[in-house]
Structure 1
Amino acid sequence: MTALELPAENRELSPCTGWTREHWAAIADHLLLSLRPYFSSTRSRVSLPGQTSSSGVDSDGLEGYARSFMLFAFRLTGERGVDPHGFTQWYRDGMLAGTDPSNAERWPTGVEVNQAKVEAASLALGLQLTRPWLWDTFDDAEKQQVIAWLELAADGWYPDNNWLWFRITVETFLASVGGTHDPARIAQSLATIESYYRADGWYADGELRAYDYYCGWAMHLYPLLWAASEGSAAFGSGTLEPVFRARLSEFLDDFVCLIGGDGMPVLEGRSLIYRFAAAAPLWMGAVSGATSLSPGTIRRAASGVLRAFVERDGIDERGLLTMGLYGEWPAMAQSYSGPGSPYWASKGMLGLLLPAEHPVWQAVEEPLPVEIDDVRRVVRPAGWIISGTASDGIVRVFNHGADHALPGDTSGDSPLYARFGYSSATIPPLVGSTLDSPVDNAAGVLDAAGASTHRTGFDRGVIGDDGTAAFATSTTHAHWVDSSGYAGHDHGSGRTGRVTEGPELRCASVVRGAWEVRAVLVGDSGAGARGQGAAAGADAVRLRVSGWPLTANSVPVEVVAEGTARVETNGLVAELRVLGGRGAASVHRESGTSPIGEHTAVPWLEFDAVAAGDAVITASRLGRSDEDAPTARVQSGTLVVGWPDGALSTVALR
């Protein structure tokens, strides 16, 4: 495959990114053409190099076909059937071969492999969109063959999360073409999904506190595509569509603030190997018109996300999307991920559904919120504070609401969910010691061996904004988890294992700009608190508070002084200061544990002999310029923060 060739930048139409619809089309065609050497002989499977998923190689081949089929469908629909590269014939041949039960290269059915249920939705969605140019060209026998395969995908067990949209999508398409479907099951699936809605446009991905990009690329993508599809009216889409539209509009007001000035979205949550799929809800706003964002803002945001990944080797020299984040990094994958999984990035190219004359392609790009001014937003359903700084374009999320678990859970922390902070410029270490002893953006009790407790299963507290700063609180039921014998699947949650209870930690974050003031108040020790050995008595513990992880291919520079640890790389600074208590500063280093670079460094503060009822206070900063630090104290159970301009913020710790 030849190298990716892009058109010249257009800085008049796209002053922020330089990219236009022609750039998107060129990348889509490059991705599709680069897959051709990996199609099987009957074109039913796209078998890519890389590690096999837990579903097996046959399923992985289907996945490669189905997810790239979505991209083909968006491309063909936006061009109103014009197809100079002949993609239609390739995918037509593959669909008929894959659904032919006598073909040695047939697809596994949903009865045989659960993953086929996911891929069936991509096929049904693509068939729905390309109906005039693909489905309508099948003869009756061919249609019945495809229907029979899809019917098997609709039956059986489905997990209670975004997968229910896959069943609804498949069954509604079946209803539109005379296939067997279950109206009661569709109604029940819609009702269950409704139970995942929280508020302000935000869905959880199921009953867990799972707030991540699935909210955008699943829970807001399928509803309005479904509502516009043939046959959906019979299942109440006329009533539901206004509800879905209002929720998407609310969600996008928050979502656009999660994108950094360099186009990189905040790196949080599972399945990040889908990369620019993060742009999907932005395009859904353009496709449906269900947004208050201007067309120029939508395109700037979406093009920024795509360009950020393309420029960081998200597409490799073969023209492939690999398992990883920037380049290939297989450890990034969840256990359900196979070589074709990253092609869910196709969802991020939904905008190609829209023809060149659509306003979203014709409007002049407008800057992101973080390019206009500092951004501070409270996302109450997720328990998040968003803080973006215009001076460096970095967006940060401070988390007191998400852990991919339920209150009271005693599993370990998932690095991608349970940290206090995430940003558009950093990602936690994902493998190694952090799985049993959280390394970054944590606050935990240390045992005699120096292992930290976890916070998963915490109780949410208050969240708000006083006009000067935003604040959030939570109560951690600290616990150690020994997962050395863990043999379960990785679907985003932390690992389970032998649990030892620690003390209760009441935690608060007060956020303004690049600074987070974090207070940790120690409660009673857990019954099994394991050998802290503090001299101050049985209830005294050793605490560690950690800051932002900086990662680069060169070794980050560190500066450690009394009460302060600072790390710097490529102009980016992570700083952690003591504001209350007596903490020893250090920098933790490790290698090979991050998908964005070889070397990671994290500022640490450790506090010895912290007694029950006492609090430690730290100030953590991630940014590109030096700033005066806030001050803080605890007074009568209230955290009082003084900002450099003289403003004060308070939040109760008890």
Structure 2
Amino acid sequence: MSHHLPPHGSAAQVAPVTSASDRSGATGPEARAWLAGYADRLLAGVRPYASPSGSLITLPGTPGGYGTAVDGLEGFARTFLLAGFRLAGEDGADPTGVAERYAAGLAAGTDSAHPERWTRPEEHGQAKVEAASLALILDMTRPWIWDRLTSDVQERTVEYLGSVVGDPDYPDNNWVWFRIVVETFLRSVGGPFSADDVARDLAAHDRFRRADGWFADGPERSFDHYAGWALHLYPALWERMSGAAEVAQAAGEDLAARSASDRRHLERYLDDALALVGSDGAPLIQGRSLTYRFAAAAPFWAGAFAGVGRPGQLREAATRIVRHFADHEVPGADGLLTLGWHHPWRPIAQRYSGPGSPYWASKGLLGLALPAAHDVWTAAPEPLPVDDGDVLTAVAAPGWAISATRDDGLVRVINHGTDHALPGSDGGDSPLYARFGYSTATSPLLDAEAWTSPLDQSVVLLDAAGRATHRTGFAPPVVTTGSAVVLTSTADAHWIDADLSAPDHGSGRPGESTPAGRITTVSLVRGAWEVRLVRVTASAADAVALRIGGWAAGPGLVSTLVPLLGDIAPVCGETTSDDATPLAGPTTTPWSRYAPVPDGWTAVGVHLARTPATGHPRLEITAGQAAVTWPDGERTTATLP
């Protein structure tokens, strides 16, 4: 649920608007024309890096963890997505000849004897991902590419894609949709497919469903942008594919009934997803694969394809996200997307990321596949939730409180339910998932130290050497709402001797775990403030101090940590990190350190805004109740565990 609340803290006005904000509220035709030009620039930027046949697009930069051959396939398949969207949305009109170029690349890539052939799905798992993009666009652009291929190229393409049929080696996460899409296309052109494969993959998709329209990306508490740019996107496109009804029926499913359920799930998800977009178009900086950037716009276009949500608002959210990156000079002068966020920043990459990987951002331009006469382009623009007023909502599935403030346009998430792990795990914290806070204007610290020693948005025990504990595996949160959102979670804190050689897929580092103590954390969230109460029980003898960290803030932001309660006066300080996030400039993180480890409750006020806070919350604890008086005079009480 969402509450529109009075302004909190500083009465300062919004910071000067960017050109993205200047463009917000553009008419549909204006927005479509701008996006089309942006897409065409991206497609033009990669042309010099195509191989002679066009089958491989190998972009400059250090090769990805899977090697140059996979990089070249990614470069082709992910830009093929964008070329296909442009072609479909213009009903085949093709002034720059993308259909011919990509058809030539398809002919060479599927030819096992060609020196520029593609890595095959049975040779490397990443080819299974890229095969889905090939199949999706071959279906979407059928009259202009597939139907014009020679019969031998069609046969080779079916043989290449058909190698996924019956393959048991698909991860139990969003990958299940890659096989569904490929086998649906194969069925539509008379190729092989497996009803058992599709049935298993649809059942897996259903296992990933969570409350209020959310998906987890697999069995773990993996809540991130994959919910929207994969697990909601593919069902919205699949139901439109040729042969989808027949494939569903063979798998024992009724496509119409399943699609209706998927649409309802998407519609509910969009309520939360819209609240996660900052007024400047910035998406939440949380989760893996952040280098896909404006792929975060994909679920809003999925809503347009599925016919759910308000078209003018969906368009506004999606285009504002793309414009956010354009305003930060993405792509650069060479027209290329790099591994990074606002600028090239290689540490944002996971092991699977290569120089072609960022072009999954193409999904954020999916709306161009819809014709100019579609509702999403003809509807009047509508504001985002943060434009209308402060937003405060509890999201049960990921265990989040979403708090957006209209005066500065920031969206903050306080996290008690997401760690990319299972309850009871004793692995390391991933900065991308397990921190207590994320926002649209800050990044978690992502340098090497951040993976082994949590500082920002953390509550940790320290040993005599200064080693910080991790909280991954904490008990599921308790969430209550009222004039504030209250979240409670308990972690069996542990030290980790991390195995730094383990492949990086975004999860915390595995390693040898040592128990350190139990930490209960309660967050009361309202506006730009979080009141964070902490209690440590059964701490190990090696735990010599408790440390609480606030927001890691860069230039133009103010991060504040105010002690509110405790018998021990903390040592307060701040740590400045250079080049520890994909955002420009140094990052400063305030912290409070309590030694020895306190008995009973300790509390701090945690604040993030563009200007300093005026006043701070006041806290009283009596008879197991925490009572917070907020700076605007509103009062919230919560029962302490």
TM-score, structure 1 normalization: 0.91
Deviation at 1:431, TM superposition (A): 1.4
2:484 is aligned with 1:498? no
Change (3 A) 1:585 1:16: farther
Q: Secondary structure at the match of 2:575?
A: strand
CA distance in 2 between partners of 1:392 and 1:447 (Å) = 39
Deviation at 1:13, TM superposition (A): 8.8
Which is richer in strand?
A: 1
Partner of 1:267: 285
Partner of 2:546: 543
Change (3 A) 1:22 1:9: farther
Partner of 1:422: 438
Partner of 2:138: 127
CA distance in 2 between partners of 1:585 and 1:11 (Å) = 40
Structure 1 residues 255-298: Cα deviation after superposition (integer angstroms, max 9, x where no partner): 0000001100111100000000000000111122122xx22211
Q: 1:375 aligns with which of 363, 373, 391?
A: 391
Alignment of 1:26-41 (within 5 A): 26-41=37-52
Q: Secondary structure at the match of 2:232?
A: coil
2:564 is aligned with 1:579? yes
Alignment of 1:209-228 (within 5 A): 209-228=221-240
Query: Any conservation in 1 of the 2:20–2:280 contact (CA below 8 Å)?
Result: no
Deviation at 1:18, TM superposition (A): 11
CA distance in 2 between partners of 1:17 and 1:122 (Å) = 27
Q: Secondary structure at the match of 2:392?
A: strand
Partner of 1:622: 608
**Which residue type is aligned with residue 41 of structure 2?**
H
Partner of 2:533: 519
CA distance in 2 between partners of 1:490 and 1:637 (Å) = 42
Query: Any conservation in 2 of the 1:458–1:475 contact (CA below 8 Å)?
Result: yes
Partner of 1:565: none
2:335 is aligned with 1:319? yes
Structure 1 residues 6-39: Cα deviation after superposition (integer angstroms, max 9, x where no partner): xx99979935999511110001111001111000
Q: 1:480 aligns with which of 455, 474, 495?
A: 495
Alignment of 1:179-258 (within 5 A): 179-234=191-246, 235=248, 236=253, 237-258=255-276
CA distance in 2 between partners of 1:72 and 1:15 (Å) = 24
Partner of 2:627: 640
Query: Any conservation in 1 of the 2:239–2:245 contact (CA below 8 Å)?
Result: yes
Deviation at 1:316, TM superposition (A): 1.4
Change (3 A) 1:371 1:12: closer
Change (3 A) 1:176 1:548: same
Query: Any conservation in 1 of the 2:29–2:372 contact (CA below 8 Å)?
Result: no
CA distance in 1 between partners of 2:27 and 2:21 (Å) = 10
CA distance in 1 between partners of 2:224 and 2:330 (Å) = 20
Query: Any conservation in 1 of the 2:278–2:410 contact (CA below 8 Å)?
Result: yes
Partner of 2:9: none
Query: Any conservation in 2 of the 1:506–1:653 contact (CA below 8 Å)?
Result: no
Query: Any conservation in 2 of the 1:16–1:366 contact (CA below 8 Å)?
Result: no
Q: 2:469 aligns with which of 425, 429, 453?
A: 453
Query: Any conservation in 2 of the 1:275–1:314 contact (CA below 8 Å)?
Result: no
Higher RCO (CA-CA < 8 Å; seq separation 6+)? 2
CA distance in 1 between partners of 2:580 and 2:550 (Å) = 17
Partner of 2:584: 597
Q: List 4+ stretches of structure 1 deviating above 6 A.
A: 8-13
Deviation at 1:356, TM superposition (A): 1.6
Deviation at 1:354, TM superposition (A): 1.2
Deviation at 1:40, TM superposition (A): 0.5
Q: Secondary structure at the match of 1:228?
A: coil
Query: Any conservation in 2 of the 1:321–1:343 contact (CA below 8 Å)?
Result: yes
**Which residue type is aligned with residue 604 of structure 2?**
T
Query: Any conservation in 2 of the 1:42–1:93 contact (CA below 8 Å)?
Result: yes
Change (3 A) 1:336 1:628: same
Partner of 1:395: 411
Query: Any conservation in 1 of the 2:461–2:545 contact (CA below 8 Å)?
Result: yes
Query: Any conservation in 2 of the 1:472–1:509 contact (CA below 8 Å)?
Result: yes
Structure 1 residues 123-166: Cα deviation after superposition (integer angstroms, max 9, x where no partner): 00011100011111123222111000001134240000000000
Query: Any conservation in 1 of the 2:277–2:411 contact (CA below 8 Å)?
Result: yes
CA distance in 1 between partners of 2:620 and 2:433 (Å) = 29
Deviation at 1:50, TM superposition (A): 1.6
Deviation at 1:450, TM superposition (A): 1.7
**Which residue type is aligned with residue 327 of structure 1?**
H
Change (3 A) 1:220 1:433: same
CA distance in 2 between partners of 1:482 and 1:9 (Å) = 44
Aligned residue-pair number? 613
CA distance in 1 between partners of 2:150 and 2:610 (Å) = 61
Deviation at 1:650, TM superposition (A): 2.5
CA distance in 2 between partners of 1:513 and 1:647 (Å) = 11
Structure 1 residues 592-637: Cα deviation after superposition (integer angstroms, max 9, x where no partner): 211112411101111112344x111000011124332111133333
CA distance in 1 between partners of 2:580 and 2:28 (Å) = 31
Q: Secondary structure at the match of 1:207?
A: coil
Partner of 1:442: 458
Structure 1 stretch displaced more, 581-590 or 417-426? 581-590
Q: 1:61 aligns with which of 67, 72, 84?
A: 72
**Which residue type is aligned with residue 464 of structure 1?**
T
Aligned CA-pair RMSD: 1.8
CA distance in 2 between partners of 1:127 and 1:462 (Å) = 46
Structure 1 stretch displaced more, 619-628 or 25-34? 619-628
CA distance in 1 between partners of 2:411 and 2:193 (Å) = 45
Structure 1 stretch displaced more, 202-211 or 313-322? 313-322
CA distance in 2 between partners of 1:123 and 1:18 (Å) = 29
Structure 1 residues 411-432: Cα deviation after superposition (integer angstroms, max 9, x where no partner): 1110110000000110011012
Partner of 1:386: 402
Q: Secondary structure at the match of 1:101?
A: coil
Partner of 2:3: none
Deviation at 1:646, TM superposition (A): 3.6
Structure 1 residues 569-609: Cα deviation after superposition (integer angstroms, max 9, x where no partner): 32x21111000012221011121211112411101111112
Q: 1:72 aligns with which of 67, 83, 86?
A: 83
Partner of 2:524: 510
2:25 is aligned with 1:14? yes
Query: Any conservation in 1 of the 2:65–2:353 contact (CA below 8 Å)?
Result: yes
Deviation at 1:645, TM superposition (A): 3.8
Deviation at 1:647, TM superposition (A): 3.1
Change (3 A) 1:289 1:18: closer
CA distance in 2 between partners of 1:50 and 1:74 (Å) = 27
Q: Secondary structure at the match of 2:221?
A: coil
Q: Give the fraction of aligned pairs with identical amino acids, expressed as a percent.
A: 46
Structure 1 residues 167-215: Cα deviation after superposition (integer angstroms, max 9, x where no partner): 1100111111111111011011100110010111000000010000000
Change (3 A) 1:17 1:435: farther
Partner of 1:357: 373
Query: Any conservation in 1 of the 2:428–2:470 contact (CA below 8 Å)?
Result: yes
Structure 1 stretch displaced more, 424-433 or 241-250? 424-433
Structure 1 stretch displaced more, 634-643 or 515-524? 634-643
CA distance in 2 between partners of 1:9 and 1:338 (Å) = 28
Change (3 A) 1:225 1:15: closer
Query: Any conservation in 1 of the 2:111–2:117 contact (CA below 8 Å)?
Result: yes
Change (3 A) 1:49 1:514: same
Q: 2:306 aligns with which of 288, 295, 304?
A: 288
Query: Any conservation in 2 of the 1:10–1:19 contact (CA below 8 Å)?
Result: no
Note the residue ranges of structure 2 that are not aligned, 5 or more in a row: 1-18
Structure 1 stretch displaced more, 260-269 or 589-598? 589-598
CA distance in 2 between partners of 1:56 and 1:178 (Å) = 33
CA distance in 2 between partners of 1:643 and 1:598 (Å) = 32
Alignment of 1:303-318 (within 5 A): 303-318=319-334
Deviation at 1:357, TM superposition (A): 2.2
**Which residue type is aligned with residue 624 of structure 2?**
G
Alignment of 1:130-169 (within 5 A): 130-154=141-165, 155-169=167-181
